[in-house]
Amino acid sequence: MILFFLRHGKAGQPRAGDDDARELTDDGIAALEAAAPLWRRLNARPDVVLSSPLPRALQTAELFCAAVGGTPVTDDRLRPGAGWGDMARAMAEHPDARRVMFVGHEPDLSSATALLTGASSVRMRKGSLAAIEFYGVPEPGTGELAWLIDPDLYAEA
């Protein structure tokens, strides 16, 4: 099984009382669009793309799907503050999926990546994409980090 973790792209500045409404900036959109050739070369083609419903994450998921195919599925469990348990429950609703992508927020994705791989810490910048491979059911400490792509590489793609 392969799990992908995609942190949303660059978004507008947080607004007091309305952080949930933030959308991607023009630069954030451009950076994610520049990532499309690299995503395709990596064969990052999940069976299901699960996204936080917040605009910045959903826009990121839509840009990813436009590049490699598919349609994102929003799940409230992926809102900011999601833990691996929330992600696992969301994934369980798609039992036939062997390649699952989570599109969400920090520190949620870095924490899940570290937990699943047994790493002491992982840093996922805005727009980062990670792939973790499992030989069985994804459980803490049993995953192998196949790759973690820094968004600075997208301009090179």
Q: What's the pLDDT tens digit per position in 62-90? A: 999 999 999 999 999 999 999 999 999 99
What is the CATH number for 146?
3.40.50.1240
Domain containing 24 equals 2-156
Angle between helices 55-68 and 26-41 (to 10 degrees): 40
Q: Round to whole Å and give the CA distance between 117 and 62.
A: 27
Quick one: average pLDDT of 26-42? 93
pLDDT for residue 20:
84
Q: Round to whole Å and give the CA distance between 113 and 131.
A: 9
Give the helix/strand (H/E) hosting 132.
Answer: strand 129-133
Q: Are 9 and 31 in contact (CB under 8 A)?
A: yes
Query: Whole-prediction pTM value?
Result: 0.94
Number of structural domains, the chain?
1
pLDDT at 16 over 70: no
pLDDT for residue 86:
98
Q: Round to whole Å and give the CA distance between 61 and 96.
A: 20
Q: Read off the tokens for 3.
A: 């799990």
Mean of per-residue pLDDT scores for the chain:
93
Quick one: average pLDDT of 31-35? 94
Alpha-carbon distances of 50 from 5, 15, 77, 120, 132, rounded to whole Å: 10, 25, 10, 25, 16
- pLDDT digit string (tens) for 86-132? 999 999 999 999 999 999 999 999 999 999 999 999 999 999 999 99
